[in-house]
Structure 1
Amino acid sequence: MTRTVLLDKDADLSLLKGKTFGVIGFGSQGHAHALNLKDSGINVVIGLYPQSKSIEVARKYGFEVLPSTEVAKSADILFLAVPDLVIPEIYSAQIAPYLSPGKTLGFAHGFVIHYKLVVPPPGVDVILVAPKGPGHIVRREFVEGRGVPSLIAVYQDQSGKARDIALAWAKGIGSTRVGVIETTFREETETDLFGEQAVLCGGLTSLITAGFETLVNAGYSPEMAYFECLHEMKLIVDLIYESGISGMRFSISETAKWGDVTVGPKIIDEHVKARMKQVLEDIQNGQFAKQWIEEVKAGKPNYTRLLEEGAKHPIEKVGSEIRALFPWLKKKNLHGVQAAYE
């Protein structure tokens, strides 16, 4: 199914003019949306808890910073830009009591709405504006006169203008410069989780690590394994990003192409696809969400352990040494702000 790509001409930014846009949280997505909307002429206020390290940062950017309850009272549009499993507590205590009819509740990811961790009252609009990129990229592309594509969705349309508000918001952050596509909260949530788990994060990091371990265990140097299995990954991904899979194949050697089309399917075979299908089913039936919620309630012991184990893997040590040789790869603070509520 081909979907219409919505551009600047399809959105009316004036729908946000004269309204107060409240951003709860000032982390990766929060700071990007707030700054881009501010630069687009929208009145933006930031809601943070009193001890947040982001208060000083937000004020340096020229924002008015208020307690989240005050923003919930005064804002016409509320964007909950905090981690998924922090949202329900903040919503219940600081937002819901002041969510009067006629307001708009907004999200950048559909998780809490789709899995009913937040159940908004019927008198408000509930919308989604989900840029397909991290916050620092959303901000950087906007500043450079471009934009990051976004998905928009409507969960509740009390006013009859929820879609138009979502589209105006997407324009305010620069997404209609390149393209906006309509979806649903369910589709955005389930495809986003699947992509993260099976391909972009979980699948990719496990593939890189397995390749590195295979070469090192066979007696090759960790440096060679790092270059072949991690360092060059960016070069291939950049080619795919720019030109698609066929475009990437055009740019590599005949030998690499032959290995691609004959050996790749032996690695990502029907067994892998079957496990991917199970991953998707666990997302669709709520099993993944249930396990993640239970992990957070328990204090994230497995989450912490697995991340610590990953940080101690030999690929991190050799990678740190190699990256130190290249000054342009020095670690950067990607968005320059404290992730409030994290």
Structure 2
Amino acid sequence: MAKIYGDKDADMDFLKDKTISVIGYGNQGEAQAKNMRDSGCKVIIGVRVGGSSWKQAKEDGFEVYEISEAAKRGDIIQVLIPDEVQAHVYSEEIAPTMGEGKTLGFSHGFNIHYKEIVPPRDDDVIMVAPKAPGAIVRKTYKEGSGVPGLVAVSQNASGDALDISLAMAKAIGLTKAGVIETSFEEEVETDLFGEQSVLVGGVSELIKAGFETLVDEGYQPEVAYFECLNELKLIVDLIQEGGIEYMMKSVSNTAEYGGRTRGTEIINDHVRKKMKKLLDDIQDGSFASEWVTENEKGAPKLEKMRKEGKNHLIEKVGKEIRDWADIGE
């Protein structure tokens, strides 16, 4: 069984007299920095000079520095910039400040697990990962609650790495909901697999396939949109509220019977084998290598797919329906 930590398991004294340098001030950076500051931590921000994030962090009352200076000043360096730029930024601006018993933190373990970043052995390396977008992390904190999260330790040079990660999780507000202890390997591989097979890749393609099947058979695109995309949120909300069986109880008997008897016709053994292949590529580093190479080339494949996605009929129909709904209100 997973080890789950709550508020009583985390001691904020492990952050006493420490400066936490948050590198990046985007979705997660802003939320985590504000929450930790409001919890009494000393937090500074490291971002690119003169950018929009620099200005916003200044307006929000933080001390803001170039990344190299923020890393130098920090006892704990929480890296919250995109995966694809972390290795370069670490090499150029953070690595020269390491090797002095600091703590290097992440909210996703991609670059550590795949060894794009290799910190000195005498530094702690930890992960504190909220399982929600930054806006929700901030909102729930202000409401006095929190979102669940994960903590992990890759290097424990000080002997206090887990305690530091739990203290940070508490400062961000995660221990109110509970944090699960994991490993960098487990977090990265399950996260990538979930995104590719279900949450981002799988569900998007399933929606488009259903939509295209109906439209190709002559049904109105607007009706197909409602049936294959718009109503999905209602189903997901039910699943999140009470689980799959709760959702099954909440829909009509016809929908339940059709779903139970036909769902396995779509998600069959062939699909499960494909999922296993996705996981194999994640586990052996093939996907990571592909993604790193894609970014080194300027992400041409990703840009091509983005353009194709924007031009899909379901996007055009969806925009029209959403615009109509706004007018109707």
Alignment of 1:226-241 (within 5 A): 226-241=225-240
CA deviation digits over 1:185-226, x for unaligned, max 9? 000000000000000000010000111111111111111111
1:11–1:168 contact (8 Å) kept in structure 2? yes
1:281 equivalent in structure 2:
280
1:45–1:63 contact (8 Å) kept in structure 2? yes
1:318 equivalent in structure 2:
317
Q: For 1:86 and 1:76, how far apart are their aligned partners in 2?
A: 22
Aligned pair in 2 of structure 1 residues 235, 191: CA closer, same or farther (>3 Å)? same
2:154 equivalent in structure 1:
155
The question of 1:307 aligning with 2:306 is answered: yes
1:102 equivalent in structure 2:
101
Which ranges of structure 2 fall in alignment gaps of 5 or more residues? none
1:208–1:230 contact (8 Å) kept in structure 2? yes
Q: For 1:117 and 1:312, how far apart are their aligned partners in 2?
A: 35
1:219 equivalent in structure 2:
218
Q: For 1:90 and 1:329, how far apart are their aligned partners in 2?
A: 48
1:335 equivalent in structure 2:
none
1:8 equivalent in structure 2:
7
Q: CA deviation at 1:277?
A: 0.2
1:115–1:289 contact (8 Å) kept in structure 2? yes
1:59 equivalent in structure 2:
58
1:117 equivalent in structure 2:
116
1:298 equivalent in structure 2:
297
Q: CA deviation at 1:325?
A: 3.0
TM-score under structure 1 normalisation?
Answer: 0.94
CA deviation digits over 1:100-158, x for unaligned, max 9? 32210000001000000000001100000111111111111212222111110000001
Q: Give the partner amino acid of 2:183.
A: T
Q: Give the partner amino acid of 2:167.
A: A
CA deviation digits over 1:53-100, x for unaligned, max 9? 211111111111001111111110001111112011110110111113
**Which deviates the most, 42-51 or 235-244?**
42-51
TM-score under structure 2 normalisation?
Answer: 0.98
Q: For 2:236 and 2:177, how far apart are their aligned partners in 1?
A: 20
Q: For 1:54 and 1:318, how far apart are their aligned partners in 2?
A: 34
2:45 equivalent in structure 1:
46
Greater per-residue helix proportion: 2
**Which deviates the most, 15-24 or 105-114?**
15-24
**Which deviates the most, 318-327 or 186-195?**
318-327
CA deviation digits over 1:241-274, x for unaligned, max 9? 1100001111011001001110000000000000
2:175 equivalent in structure 1:
176
Aligned pair in 2 of structure 1 residues 329, 69: CA closer, same or farther (>3 Å)? farther
What stretches of structure 1 move > 4 A for 4+ residues in a row? none
Q: Give the partner amino acid of 2:276.
A: K
Alignment of 1:19-34 (within 5 A): 19-34=18-33
Q: CA deviation at 1:329?
A: 12
Q: For 1:224 and 1:140, how far apart are their aligned partners in 2?
A: 35
Paired residues in the alignment total 329
1:84–1:112 contact (8 Å) kept in structure 2? yes
Q: For 1:244 and 1:18, how far apart are their aligned partners in 2?
A: 43
Aligned pair in 2 of structure 1 residues 329, 187: CA closer, same or farther (>3 Å)? farther
Q: Give the partner amino acid of 1:201.
A: V
1:17–1:41 contact (8 Å) kept in structure 2? no
1:89 equivalent in structure 2:
88
1:323–1:329 contact (8 Å) kept in structure 2? no
Aligned pair in 2 of structure 1 residues 291, 328: CA closer, same or farther (>3 Å)? farther
Q: CA deviation at 1:51?
A: 3.2
* SS across alignment from 1:159: coil
Among all aligned residue pairs of Structure 1 and Structure 2, give the percentage whose two residues are the same amino acid.
54
Q: CA deviation at 1:328?
A: 11
In angstroms, what is the RMSD of aligned CA positions? 1.4
Q: For 2:323 and 2:179, how far apart are their aligned partners in 1?
A: 39
